[in-house]
Structure 1
Amino acid sequence: MTRFPDIDSYFSELQRLINSYDWNRAQTASSLFSMEDDHSYLPYLQVESYGSRTRRSRLNDEVFDEMTCLHLHVLYCVHVANDFVSAHSTQIQIVQLFNKEILQKRKEENWFMPIFYQLCTDLRILSKEAEDVSSQNDDGEAMTSFYEQAANCLMECYRACVSDVRTEIHSSKKVAMLNLTNQLFRIYFKINKLNLLKPLIRAIENCGPLYQEFSMADKVTYNYYLGRKAMFDADLPLAEKSLNYAFRNCPRDCMSNKRRVLIYLIPVKMFLGHMPTHRLLHDYKLDEFEEVVEAVKDGNLGRLDRALEQHEKFFIKSGIFLMLEKLRSITFRTLFKKVCSLLGGSIFLLEVFLCALSFAQVNDVDVCELECIMANLIAEKKIKGYISHQHGKLVISKKQEAFPALSSISAAI
């Protein structure tokens, strides 16, 4: 905090960094526009009335000067007034100013993008804070208004960036596409409007050589959110591919981020027949999955239900509880496979499976429901065979693998 003994030194440092017109210097300058950086806690940088005290030390660039003054007002709103609604509206002013005067007017240069990314990140964070305050103080009307305001502002910036088509890739503003898509991913997940992401995802898929210009951090983040969306869309192959990419390319020392990816990758892998090891769960402090995994592997429905109930809060908070409940079908299949393997042959009385279910502490399934469960598994190609309703029997394939590997099946949750 002592690096800026007064407000003049803060402006001087910004002046030095911005005058370089250099991407790396802009990355350093971006922290000076962050409401969470050390400088934000300095009282003389928390300015209540923008345009008074700050004007004694101006930046040469009028746009950046105005943005900086507005930023100091945001610091006052956040750290002094605790007024996140005003901070949010001021941050929108900053981003809109950046869009109008820099993104749209300064052609064939993009060195300032790291600063822009920080401004967008702070806008998203302030949206959450303002939303939380609003939900506590009003009657709940327009609960997503702050998120939607931020999303609309970011979409305006997105359109300005993608319209920069005549500039060389290395200096194009289109390099912001992925970062902005990630920001919007986060917001749309919050307000449950993932359908609005379809054109943005399509644009990333079709961006060609530009994809190589995106940072690895943005690629990891994008694949994490793309994998989550694919999981909820029941597209397990895409979910596995995207989440695998995010996990493998996330730095080893970012354990918390890798753990966050695994929370979604593990259920996807389980649906595809790949069970996580005890060591993996232990290393990433995901012991909540331990009993779930063992229950699915054993075909023990009762144990699965108890495991889900025991860690219900964690799974609901992570947004995967409903998906894990659908592991019941895989658990049924495992149990049925064990029964068939134990008895041998290809024709089995349905009563045998009812006995096995009773042994697995499932006593609320009758013959009709059992037939429905088996019929669904057969329709999903997880069992190859048919049910003889007249004779009360399950007939499984002799020529083909009656219980094919889950990874070989076109997966659907």
Structure 2
Amino acid sequence: MDAVDVSGYFQERYYDEKFIDFLQWNSENGKRTIYTLNTYNDDTVLELYNAVMQLRTVVLPEMRSLKNVNPKRRKRRTVQVLVKVHETLERELKLLVRLIDRKPLMNWLLYPLFTVARSLYSNAKKFEDGTAYVESCGRAVHRCFTMCLQDKNEENWRLNKRQGVYFFVVLEFQIYHRLHNYDMIKNLVKAVETHQRMGQIPSPRDSMLSMFRALMVTYHYYMGLYFCSQTVQYDKAYEFLLLSYLDCPAATPTTRGPQETKILRLLFPCALVSRRLVLKRRDPFQDALIRTINRGDIPGFKTLVQANELQLLREGTYLPTSKLVHLVNLQYVKRAVEQRTGGGTQVPLQTVPQLTECDIALLISSGSIKGYLSHGHACLVLSKTNAFPPLQRR
């Protein structure tokens, strides 16, 4: 068994894996370590130590003993233990915030603070009806976010607490998505972008977040998801999702992991709608989507989207995928023009029966077709030169 004096971390202002294991009260690695508090005279540190040790020495054994409890009583006892964990972790979070907020040179505690906040969220998700606990967790995490933003230290940017703000942005994204609270997501993104624009917080790659690749992937994914599904800014969504994809480690050179697949399912329609390059690695649905676009197969496209509607809604990709009908319509008109005989620039509307005049007008107004609708002659009059200009990136 290893022995670790927790007070040493506060005296020398650093953390390591053993300190994180100490805060992760149910960590497997922490079982092999004895934690003590010997020489640090600070009431807040003492409270923090006692709170963690209560979880380690009292609550954890109680949780492990639940498997021996009568099944009829187990559910009630499990809830009681989870409530104890929730309350103690909230207290730990408040104590860490107090230490960081009131003492100088305590930035080293920002990542440990994040690990406790993440444990609080993980515990809140274990409740059968845990909405109230997840909401409580969201408020606690937002206090951490606010504390980071309110640091006025401009002399040494590296010691500014704003370096850790993205830890809590990532966690708030996860919490608000679980609660389906899209207004809070909107407010969070607005706050982040405003502070970035004013130079009041560093970019993610210049912050503490850059040391944690998985968190960078998550941050860029949620930003991309927001701009894709909430504001329909597909070009901006594409940029964030591409960053997320490029940072995401592949499972193997030839296969995708679940996280990579999740990102690509969102990136793919955004890349098409914003007219960017499309990655070669696609799944069967994406291949089928490309085929319907290339053929101008309007019924096939609608059938494909309808058949995958629930999956697309769950992924947040329904809107950008449905927007691809614009490309299908354009290809349909192109094929109709190529197949008709007689030449000329007039295309009778009866040769494109699957499109309404409104559909064609949208293609013209977007610049995808150069020409105009002649209602008197019931035809589409194409420009004599470059009737179908190359699609430009948006």
Shared fold (TM-score, shorter chain, > 0.5): yes
Distance 1:77 1:107, change over 3 A: farther
- Distance in 1 of aligned mates of 2:200 and 2:101: 23
- Distance, in Å, in 1 between the alignment partners of 2:262 and 2:247 is 13
Pick aligned residue for 2:122 from 92, 106, 125: 125
Following TM superposition, by how much is the alpha carbon of 1:252 offset from its aligned partner in structure 2, in angstroms? Answer: 4.2
Distance in 2 between residues matched to 1:405 and 1:214, nearest whole Å? 43
Paired residues in the alignment total: 358
Hey, what does 1:172 align to over in structure 2?
A: 160
For residues 50-95 of structure 1, give each alpha carbon's deviation from its aligned partner in whole angstroms, at most 9, with x where no partner exists. xxxx9x9556441430341354366467654533444333322221
The answer (yes or no) to whether the contact 2:124–2:134 under 8 Å persists in 1 is: yes
- CA drift at 1:205: 4.1
Contact 1:67 1:94 in 2 (8 A): yes
1:50-65 matches, within 5 Å, as 58=37, 60=40, 61-65=45-49
Report the CA distance shift for 1:86/1:263 in structure 2 as closer, same or farther (over 3 A): farther
* Deviation at residue 39 of structure 1 after TM alignment: 4.7
Partner of 1:321: 318
Q: Distance in 2 between matches of 1:189 and 1:258?
A: 19
How far apart are the structure 1 equivalents of 2:59 and 2:378?
71
Equivalent residue, structure 1, for 2:96? 98
The equivalences for 1:291-302 within 5 A come to: 291-302=288-299
Aligned-pair CA distance for 1:115: 1.1
Which residue identity is paired with 1:241?
A: E
- 1:153 deviates by 1.3
Identify if the C-alpha distance between structure 1 residues 252 and 280 changes in structure 2 by more than 3 Å, giving closer, same or farther.
same
- 70-79 vs 225-234, greater mean Cα deviation: 70-79
C-alpha spacing 1:205/1:21, structure 2 compared with 1 (3 Å): farther
Determine if contact 2:63/2:78 at 8 Å carries over to the other structure: yes
Of 257, 260, 263, the residue aligned with 1:261 is 263
Residues 206-256 of structure 1 deviation map (CA, whole Å, 9 limit, x = unaligned): 446833133332443322211111112111221111111222233345843
Match of 2:303 in 1: 306
1:7-156 matched pairs, under 5 angstroms: 12-13=3-4, 15=6, 18=9, 21=12, 23=14, 25-34=15-24, 37-39=27-29, 58=37, 60=40, 61-72=45-56, 75=60, 80=66, 81-83=77-79, 84-100=82-98, 102-130=99-127, 133-134=128-129, 144-156=131-143
Deviation track 1:381-413 (CA, whole Å, cap 9, x = no partner) reads 3333222222211122334x43334433x4xxx
**Structure 1 residue 14: Cα displacement:** 6.0
Q: Is the 8 A contact 1:30 1:118 kept in 2?
A: yes
* CA–CA distance in structure 1, aligned partners of residues 5 and 369 of structure 2: 66
The answer to whether the Cα contact below 8 Å between 2:151 and 2:160 also exists between their aligned partners in 1 is yes
- How much does 1:200 deviate? 2.4
Match of residue 347 from structure 1: 346
Which is worse superposed, 144-153 or 235-244? 144-153
Where 1:112 maps in the other structure, the secondary structure is helix
1:213 aligns with 2:207: yes
TM-score of the pair, normalised by structure 1: 0.75
Whole-Å Cα distance in 2 between the matches of residues 173 and 13 of structure 1? Answer: 27
- C-alpha spacing 1:313/1:340, structure 2 compared with 1 (3 Å): same
Contact 2:326 2:363 in 1 (8 A): yes
Tell whether the 8 Å contact from 2:224 to 2:238 is kept in structure 1 after alignment: yes
Alignment check: 8 A CA contact 1:396 1:402 kept: yes
Of all paired residues, the percent bearing the same amino acid is: 18
Contact preservation (8 Å) 2:100, 2:106: no
Cα distance, 1:269 vs structure 2: 0.7
Say what the alpha-carbon RMSD is for the aligned residues: 3.1
Amino acid at match of 2:271: K
Residue 200 of structure 1 pairs with residue 200 of structure 2: no
Partner of 1:362: none
Length-normalised TM-score, structure 2: 0.79
